[in-house]
Structure 1
Amino acid sequence: MVTSSAASPVRRPGAEMLVRPVGAAVDAVLGTRGCLFTFHRAAPPALWERLPNREFYLDLDFLDRLLGYLAATGWSVVTIAEALRRTARGEPGDRFVNFSVDDCYRDTYEAVIPLFRRHGVPVTLFVTTGIPDGTLPLVFAGLEDVLLNNDRVVVDGETIAVATPEARRAAYARIAAAWDADAPAQHYVTFCAENGVDATAMHWTHAMSWEMLEAVRDDPLVEIGGHTVSHARISRLPASQAFAEIAGCRDRLRERLGVACDHFAFPYGRSGDCGPRDFDLVKEAGFTSGATTRKGLVRRGQDAYRLPRVTLGGAQRHLALAELHLTGVSSLAARVLGRV
């Protein structure tokens, strides 16, 4: 187990201090409290402000502040394996957090892992193996890159102006929604041809490679788990295909990296994206846990194959909101509103 110790200074107390007593009151009644955070990408604040799809990223400065805040307020940052051990023990007053990065893009290697190392705490990588294998086109990363670095782009023969951050965000939302509805990879091939983009070079601009994964596989602060082969929505697949996505990912990671790969995270991960059949398939594939993105806290008695995780998105740049996640208030609100 590794806990926060070498963290950056915490800013002057703010609204988050008003929320903390809620969590303390709940702890007194229910004991162990764990919060599993997840995100996809991270960027420095100046770039984050300009990104066409900035909700997909965490501001690195905020992540730095959050890790410092957790250390200062007595939270342990742990691996999924340690989170499961603590959940089984259920010791009163035990509070822990896990951070997992889904998919695993290049910035995971270049920015996220170094930040966690500086704080001396672990991070979990849930790897979609099609990314380092180069078989999964990074359609939306490529779309975002072209929009970010050009004032004009061509889409289906039409030239559109994207000279401002607002125009880029609007264009990204419109184009991504249209592609997502119908064969995004085919749309991306056409888009690359229209805009003179080398799709292979673009892939490796954003992908985490096997060489990068090999460089961190023995790091005690890096835990590696599976996230399917092609980032498929598991609930939509026949059982045989779903199992191939789950087990194939584990087999590939074990073959290529020689890691145990005990833990799995469902792509998308909400209530419509994975269900009882899929949880059983994860167990059958040899994993010891399965993580969703259904909001909630982890407590004693938690089913290891239905782990809740709280997604951190770009707009979440305030410690007060993080504290709402840590207390479980935001998860309760999500369930009341049916956003699970």
Structure 2
Amino acid sequence: MRKLAFYAWLYVESELRKTKNRILNLIDPPVVVLAYHRVSVPQIDFHSLVVSPENFRAQMEFLKRNFHLVRFEEDWAAAKKPAVAVTFDDGYADNVLALAIVEEVGVPVTFFISTGNIDSSNEFWWDELERLVLGEASYPPHFQLNDAKYGKTWSTETYRERRRMYWDLHQSAKKITVVRRTGWLRQIREWAGLNEVTDGANRSLTHDELMILAKSQWVTIGAHTISHPTLSSLTEEEQRHEVVSSKRQLEKLTGREITVFSYPFGAKRDYDLTTSRICREAGFNKAAAAFPGEAHRWGDPYQIPRHAIPNWDVDTFAAKLKGLWIR
């Protein structure tokens, strides 16, 4: 009986929240911000970052037909009807393919670029970790991480065990320095018998590719730190370096003022009030987070909610998008 009452309360609470949101949306038309990362052919994709070119095109065409589209950096206070903004995080090379699609369809988009790997063949650390641990190598039965704080041994005979290991390592690697994380990856490469060289499928943008994005009339470039750390795990000085230096680097590379920022990972635990203050002091007008919600004029411009979009077909995308306005 108590369990039934609990579920009944959850239903009532959900309906009350939806009613409240409908009323708020009438008072102030919301902006729903969508967060993408990659447009490519999905391979190993533990975090659902990759959207196929076919599905991405269909999603953009649906947005163009059905919604008012706004740029992330615009002042949304004057919006007369609900709108959608499209963003990308990280700065993968395949963002150039996304650009070709949004230019053809006519959708404005903001690309938040992490600058540390520009003009480098290096993978983002989570992609290398994914490739090393969740690939198709012949793995040893155990892996021992040598680290003073996070050292641990995992069984690795089955894919399920390696998924557990991957998740543990990913959560810990978010909190450590670049140098320390590089040492972890070196240990994992030796364990897996794999090297650092890849086919470039996961590489970042080159400077030339960044300029292709920056020169498009449909594109705004935003900053996304240098090394994609969990900013809340850093000292204020370290946070300031990541935030301010990425802004300066992008301004130097593109010749354009950079006025918007996106927090790496972006959950509320991944940044803090210090981070938001640093963004404000650095001259950013807005900062994008990664928790769900809608943007209203009374909201915090340095904590703009976004919805991560996976590789949905257009029918699923349309159904899910409809629910975002009242959730």
Q: TM-score, normalised by structure 2?
A: 0.76
User: 1:323 corresponds to which residue?
Assistant: 322
How far off is 1:56 after superposition?
Answer: 2.6
* Contact 1:290–1:305 (8 Å) recurs in 2: yes
What stretches of structure 1 of length at least 5 have no aligned partner?
A: 1-20, 330-340
What stretches of structure 2 of length at least 5 have no aligned partner?
A: 1-17, 145-153, 174-179
* Contact 2:121–2:200 (8 Å) recurs in 1: no
Q: Find the aligned partners of 2:138 and 2:214 in 1 and give their Cα distance.
A: 41
User: 2:28 corresponds to which residue?
Assistant: 31
Distance 1:227 1:105, change over 3 A: same
1:142 to 106, 128, 133: 128
1:292 lines up with 2:289 in the alignment: yes
Alignment length (residue pairs): 291
Q: Which moved more, 1:21-30 or 1:315-324?
A: 21-30
Q: Find the aligned partners of 2:269 and 2:129 in 1 and give their Cα distance.
A: 27
1:301 lines up with 2:298 in the alignment: yes
Q: Find the aligned partners of 2:51 and 2:95 in 1 and give their Cα distance.
A: 11
* Contact 1:52–1:148 (8 Å) recurs in 2: no
How far off is 1:143 after superposition?
Answer: 3.8
1:176 lines up with 2:166 in the alignment: yes
User: 1:68 corresponds to which residue?
Assistant: 61
SS of corresponding position for 2:32:
strand
How far off is 1:324 after superposition?
Answer: 1.1
* Contact 1:90–1:299 (8 Å) recurs in 2: no
Q: Find the aligned partners of 2:212 and 2:64 in 1 and give their Cα distance.
A: 27
Distance 1:90 1:282, change over 3 A: same
Q: TM-score, normalised by structure 1?
A: 0.74
Q: Find the aligned partners of 1:28 and 1:122 in 2 and give their Cα distance.
A: 23
How is 1:28-107 mapped onto 2 (pairs within 5 angstroms)? 29-44=26-41, 48=42, 50-53=43-46, 55-73=48-66, 75-82=67-74, 85=75, 87-91=76-80, 94-107=81-94
Q: Find the aligned partners of 1:172 and 1:114 in 2 and give their Cα distance.
A: 37
Letter in 2 for 1:190: Q
Distance 1:328 1:247, change over 3 A: farther
How far off is 1:306 after superposition?
Answer: 1.9
Q: CA RMSD in A?
A: 3.3
Q: Deviations over 1:252-275 (max 9, x none)?
A: 111122121110011121221223
How far off is 1:230 after superposition?
Answer: 0.9
How far off is 1:23 after superposition?
Answer: 11
How far off is 1:244 after superposition?
Answer: 0.9
Distance 1:187 1:171, change over 3 A: farther
User: 2:109 corresponds to which residue?
Assistant: 123
Q: Find the aligned partners of 2:136 and 2:233 in 1 and give their Cα distance.
A: 36
* Contact 2:124–2:202 (8 Å) recurs in 1: no
Q: Find the aligned partners of 2:249 and 2:47 in 1 and give their Cα distance.
A: 31
Q: Find the aligned partners of 1:283 and 1:135 in 2 and give their Cα distance.
A: 32
